[in-house]
Chain A
Amino acid sequence: MPLSLSLSLSLIRASNEEEKDRRRSTNPEVSFFFVFHFWYFNLKLCMDSILGQDVISDLPQSIVETILTKIPIRDAVRTSILSSKWRYKWANLTHLVFDDRCSSLYNDKGLVEGNLVKFITRFLFLHDGPIHMFTLSSTYLQGSPYIDQWLLFLSRKDVKELVIELGDRGWFRAPTCLFSCRKLTRLELIHCELDPPPSFKGFLSLKCLVLQQVYIAPDKVENLLSSCPLLESLTLSYFDSFALSICAPNLKYLCLEGEFKDIRLENTPLLIFVSVSMYMTDDTAEHFEQSTSCNFDKFLGGVPCLQRLIGYIYFTKYLSVGNELGKLPITYSHLKIVQLYEVSFEDMKEILVVLRLILNSPILQELQISSSSNTSLATEATDLDFWENECPSDCTFRLLKSVKIADISGVPHEMEFIKFLLRNSPVLEVMSIIPSTCVTDGRINMLIELLRFRRASAEAEITFIQN
């Protein structure tokens, strides 16, 4: 019986091949070619299998895992029918990445979702060994109850890195078993609802936390942050207007994006990288006007190790609230790169923020500013005498090498600022000026002014980039 079985199997396979061949060509000569090729192929196969050695099956599991993680997980599972040695190599993978490629795409979303669920559930059921990393990134899975089960399974497997990115269709509410993943070192949640239970004591090993479009109560965020003592990298995206006080003694990298009413970096002495995108609504703008505290101090008052600062949209405006040009309690003695975008040069307070920052950064090397001036308002600048009278004249940017000023319209404050920089940067190498696309006529005037500015650095090149 086995003989007949194998015969019939080979017949089945052959018929498959034939079908494939038939589909490929109706020309008899071509089909003969394929048949011959098939025969030759087989012959070569026999010879190769006698001469060639199967080295790949004996590679150590770590290399096999490296190989299998570089192909889609579906293909990785298909290796199970290669040979008896390969039958369960895929089942020992420790880094699992599931995405929409795990199911063939159909028009019917429900069908795709069903397939994905089946695939992942069966995979996890047949999996053997620890799971260190689990990534789920799918736009089809939404509020599926299976996700809760998978998370429960993972929490028992001591998962270390967890990334869950679900589509926009609904809100996935993270189950409480997520909070019992004790060994987590990295957690990324995108588009879900998070509600830590009262008994949650924190992720004691968590080093990297990314919450994007996560719905969570403000006080719970603070609790979460303060209960993760080893946290080094924090990213909060698309958070809605609340006041946040960050207390994370080991934090090194901070990325904030959203509408924040108030950010206070209370205990972040080791911070080296900060990137903030501050959106503003009318409410928050009002709130700012009424505020009396100095945001600059609250935010940048306790980050002596800062090496790079990036601010987008309304960040400078946020910092300008309550700001004075007075001496800061700390010097940013490690700050090398400052990038501030959408600085509004008609607002003296924002210019003060920029100045205060760069004047307290002795080793600043790279400066990038982009302007968002309302031309009509800015051209009527009345306080231009600031630059002559109040601006400190004995400041030198000893290490400033590269400056890029973008989107300028040639308004007085902008030009004064550039003049200020050129005058006080003895080692400047490149100053790139990019005019705003709205300005077409005033460019010649801008250039004429720029030519006249005194340059402290003999090496300074001013490049005027227009496209």
Chain B
Amino acid sequence: MSEGTMAVVKPEMKSYIWVQTADGSIQQVEEEVAMFCPMICREVLQTAMGSSKNYAISLPQRVNPATLGLILDYCRFHQLQGRSNKERKIFDEKFVRLDTEKLCELASAADSLQLRPLVDLTSRALARMIEGRTPEEVREIFNIPDDLTEEEKLEPLRNITDDPHIRLLNRLYARKRKELKEREQLKSIENEEERVDKRSVDDLLSFINGGDGDSKGVRAIKNKKKNRKRKDQLPRNSSSNNGNGDHKKNDTVDNVASPNKSSKFQDSEPPNLEFVEDDMDDELDPAMREEIDREVEDFARRLNSVWPKRIQESVSLGNERLVPMSVYGSGSLKRFNGFGKQQ
């Protein structure tokens, strides 16, 4: 080219592509740099956008101007063919020395631009920050709120990591839970203990045999009501007056045989035998009452003669069945014995 024509010919123009970020700002980018991003490349090729300011390619929402700058720096470096792998690695390592917020934004923006190598690079950097750190450290690094509820944390951390730290925490949580349960149990037991009949045997017998003063009667009635409520929970065999005695005996056997009925209350559940007035109802007419009185006397007699034998029978018959009883509450067995002894 001669000197003359040099003045006429324009200098080589770099071609630019216009892009617009979500906040409306438009900027121009060198073509080869922009084409490194698959998304921009596709937009240019398919829709022929980006050639002028009016037809700027609108970038996805996740790309803000600051992040766009970073991405373009990355593209500018890597689109040059002549760089060695070592150079690229060194650049990459320096490039991801950002704070975590910027890294996350960068990853998100690169993902929306489909720039896979940058997504991998930023993800690797983020992964390095998570690996090997305790949850507290990770939360601190990434400002993650510690918003799992106490209950959710009390659920045993799925100890599939078999981390000794987590195992210890699990044990502590388990202990915590046990304490909670025990506290609940105590509460309910407290409720139950109100229902426990603390009357002495003599009282009961005297009541059976005709009733005493009001206080005891009142107490009996109170207890009766409570007993009835509790008795309702137990299986009620069809009661016939004649078989009442047997019925009661059956109940006893049932009671002994099925400790599962209300395991929590086993401690405090005294044997049914103490509440021989269970079928008594305040609203019963006197005739029925008389009959029931008779039965009660009958039963009391039998009770006194048969009970020690009965206990031995049950013990020998259902040793296995009695054993779980003792687990739930040795108190009940003791009470049986006490009852027998007092005879």
Q: Which residues of A contact B130 (CB under 8 A)?
A: 67, 71, 75, 79
Q: Which residues of A contact B172 (CB under 8 A)?
A: 12
Cβ B132 vs Cβ A75 within 8 A = yes
Cβ A5 vs Cβ B150 within 8 A = yes
Cβ B139 vs Cβ A83 within 8 A = yes
Q: List 22 A-B contacts (CB under 8 A).
A: A5-B150, A5-B180, A52-B101, A54-B143, A54-B144, A55-B104, A55-B105, A55-B142, A56-B100, A56-B104, A60-B111, A63-B123, A67-B130, A68-B127, A74-B160, A75-B130, A77-B161, A78-B163, A83-B144, A83-B145, A119-B162, A122-B160
Cβ A84 vs Cβ B153 within 8 A = no
Cβ A83 vs Cβ B131 within 8 A = no
Cβ A67 vs Cβ B153 within 8 A = no
Q: Which residues of B contact A5 (CB under 8 A)?
A: 150, 176, 180
Nearest CB on B from A220, distance (A): 37
- A123–B160 CA distance with the chains assembled, in angstroms: 7
B202 lies within 8 A of chain A by Cβ: no
Cβ B148 vs Cβ A78 within 8 A = no
Q: Which of A6, A53, A59, A60 has the most CB of B within 10 A?
A: A59
Q: Which residues of A contact B147 (CB under 8 A)?
A: 83-84
Cβ B161 vs Cβ A78 within 8 A = yes
Nearest CB on A from B99, distance (A): 9
A107 lies within 8 A of chain B by Cβ: no
Chain A residue with minimal CB distance to B158? A122
Contact string against A for B residues 126-166, beta-carbon threshold 8 Å, 1 for contact and 0 otherwise: 11001110010011101111111010110001101111101
Cβ A49 vs Cβ B161 within 8 A = no
Q: Which residues of B contact A70 (CB under 8 A)?
A: 123-124, 127, 131
- A82–B129 CA distance with the chains assembled, in angstroms: 14
User: Do A49 and B145 contact each other (CB < 8 Å), given the known contacts A82-B138, A119-B160?
Assistant: yes
A66 lies within 8 A of chain B by Cβ: yes
Cβ B176 vs Cβ A9 within 8 A = yes
Cβ B145 vs Cβ A8 within 8 A = no
Q: A56-B142, A115-B162 are in contact. List 10 more A-B contacts (CB 8 A).
A: A2-B150, A9-B153, A12-B172, A55-B100, A55-B105, A59-B108, A66-B123, A70-B124, A70-B127, A85-B144
A87 lies within 8 A of chain B by Cβ: yes
Partner of A49 from the list B127, B135, B143, B158 (CB cut-off 8 Å) is B143
Find residues 276-305 in chain A having any chain B CB closer than 8 Å to their own CB. Answer: none
**Overall SS of chain A's interface:** helix
Partner of A59 from the list B104, B152, B157, B169 (CB cut-off 8 Å) is B104
Nearest CB on B from A52, distance (A): 4
- A81–B161 CA distance with the chains assembled, in angstroms: 12
B107 lies within 8 A of chain A by Cβ: yes
- A54–B107 CA distance with the chains assembled, in angstroms: 14
Nearest CB on A from B172, distance (A): 5
Cβ B123 vs Cβ A16 within 8 A = no
Chain A residue with minimal CB distance to B108? A59
- A74–B104 CA distance with the chains assembled, in angstroms: 22
User: Do A53 and B101 contact each other (CB < 8 Å), given the known contacts A84-B147, A119-B162?
Assistant: yes
Question: How many positions in chain A have a CB within 8 Å of any CB in the partner chain?
Answer: 48
Find residues 240-275 in chain B having any chain A CB closer than 8 Å to their own CB. Answer: none
Q: Which positions in B face A, CB cutoff 8 Å?
A: 100-101, 104-105, 107-108, 111, 119-120, 123-124, 126-127, 130-132, 135, 138-140, 142-148, 150, 152-153, 157-158, 160-164, 166, 168-169, 172, 176, 180
Partner of B135 from the list A6, A67, A78, A104 (CB cut-off 8 Å) is A78
Cβ B158 vs Cβ A77 within 8 A = yes
Partner of A60 from the list B101, B108, B139 (CB cut-off 8 Å) is B108
The 8 closest A-B pairs by CB, nearest first: A70-B127, A52-B143, A66-B123, A55-B104, A71-B131, A119-B160, A67-B123, A56-B142
- A59–B172 CA distance with the chains assembled, in angstroms: 33
- A119–B166 CA distance with the chains assembled, in angstroms: 14
A375 lies within 8 A of chain B by Cβ: no
Q: Which residues of B contact A62 (CB under 8 A)?
A: 111
Contact string against B for A residues 15-31, beta-carbon threshold 8 Å, 1 for contact and 0 otherwise: 01000000000000000
Nearest CB on B from A182, distance (A): 28
Chain B residue with minimal CB distance to A126? B158
Nearest CB on A from B277, distance (A): 40
User: Do A82 and B144 contact each other (CB < 8 Å), given the known contacts A9-B176, A55-B101, A63-B119?
Assistant: yes
Q: Which residues of B contact A45 (CB under 8 A)?
A: 140
Q: Which residues of A contact B108 (CB under 8 A)?
A: 59-60, 63
- A56–B139 CA distance with the chains assembled, in angstroms: 10
- A118–B160 CA distance with the chains assembled, in angstroms: 7
Partner of B138 from the list A6, A72, A79 (CB cut-off 8 Å) is A79
- A54–B143 CA distance with the chains assembled, in angstroms: 5
Nearest CB on A from B180, distance (A): 8
Q: Which of B135, B142, B144, B168 has the most CB of A within 10 A?
A: B144
Q: Which residues of B contact A118 (CB under 8 A)?
A: 160, 162
Cβ B131 vs Cβ A75 within 8 A = yes
Q: Which residues of B contact A78 (CB under 8 A)?
A: 135, 161, 163, 166
Cβ B135 vs Cβ A81 within 8 A = yes
Q: Which residues of B contact A6 (CB under 8 A)?
A: 150
Q: Which residues of A contact B168 (CB under 8 A)?
A: 16
Q: Which residues of B contact A83 (CB under 8 A)?
A: 139, 144-148
Nearest CB on A from B123, distance (A): 4
- A62–B145 CA distance with the chains assembled, in angstroms: 22
Q: Which residues of B contact A82 (CB under 8 A)?
A: 135, 138-139, 144
Chain B residue with minimal CB distance to A2? B150
Find residues 67-111 in chain A having any chain B CB closer than 8 Å to their own CB. Answer: 67-68, 70-72, 74-75, 77-87, 103-104
Nearest CB on A from B38, distance (A): 15
A139 lies within 8 A of chain B by Cβ: no
Nearest CB on A from B116, distance (A): 9
User: Do A48 and B143 contact each other (CB < 8 Å), given the known contacts A62-B111, A79-B130, A81-B148?
Assistant: yes
Chain B residue with minimal CB distance to A51? B143
Partner of A67 from the list B105, B127, B160 (CB cut-off 8 Å) is B127
A57 lies within 8 A of chain B by Cβ: yes
Nearest CB on A from B155, distance (A): 10
Nearest CB on B from A413, distance (A): 40
- A126–B169 CA distance with the chains assembled, in angstroms: 21
Cβ B160 vs Cβ A48 within 8 A = no
User: Do A86 and B144 contact each other (CB < 8 Å), given the known contacts A9-B150, A60-B108, A72-B131?
Assistant: yes
Chain B residue with minimal CB distance to A122? B160
Nearest CB on A from B124, distance (A): 5
Q: Which residues of A contact B148 (CB under 8 A)?
A: 81, 83-84, 87
- A123–B168 CA distance with the chains assembled, in angstroms: 21
Nearest CB on A from B136, distance (A): 9
Q: Which residues of A contact B142 (CB under 8 A)?
A: 54-57
- A100–B82 CA distance with the chains assembled, in angstroms: 41
